[in-house]
Amino acid sequence: MARPAGHVAYIALGANLGPREKNIAAALNALEHTRGITVERVSNLYETEAVGGPPGQPAYVNAAARLRVTLTPERLLAVLQQIETSLGRERRERWAPRTIDLDILFFDDRVMSDDNLSIPHPLMHERRFVLEPLAEIAPNVRHPTLGLTPRELLDSFGELSFD
């Protein structure tokens, strides 16, 4: 069977304001209705305490999704940011509570970094709330710079040093 055209991207989804589960569902629905994007797989939802940012934030609901895209990484980022804005995301303070947060984790095995976008996501290996849903849907995908899978990163969480 021929492999579908396009690129494979993994994204993280998170929400801790408003109807969290509905916000994630709305983001996935918007992705499914965007030309050049096919949502291939979605993890279960995971509830986690907020990490970083202002104290006293509500808990997050997190998930991960595998996308098949014909977009560039930059265009995918623009689409994710458009969806965030359409769902009420405001960017005032770093790591502040949000209605929705959409981050590119992997884009094929690409490694890139500029002022707007870093792939793979530079902090994903430090975030259990990213690794758990990602390991569920992509346990054997290798991190292109660390050489470890999400499952391996999760299994050794807190034990590895990447300095």
7-140 homologous superfamily: 7,8-Dihydro-6-hydroxymethylpterin-pyrophosphokinase HPPK (3.30.70.560)
* Per-residue pLDDT, 126: 86
* Per-residue pLDDT, 163: 42
Query: Which amino acid makes up residue 71?
Result: L
* Average pLDDT along the chain, 163 residues, taken 10 residues at a time: 76 94 97 96 94 81 97 97 88 72 96 94 90 95 94 77 44
* Per-residue pLDDT, 160: 47
* Per-residue pLDDT, 161: 45
pLDDT in tens, 6-27: 999 999 999 999 999 999 999 9
* Per-residue pLDDT, 132: 95
Of the candidates 80, 86, 101, the one whose C-alpha atom is nearest the C-alpha of residue 20 is 101
Q: Are 131 and 157 in contact (CB under 8 A)?
A: yes
* Per-residue pLDDT, 52: 75
Q: Are 40 and 66 in contact (CB under 8 A)?
A: yes
Catalytic residues: 89, 98, 101, 103
Please state, in angstroms and rounded to a whole number, the distance separating the CA atoms of residues 152 and 136.
12
* Per-residue pLDDT, 49: 86
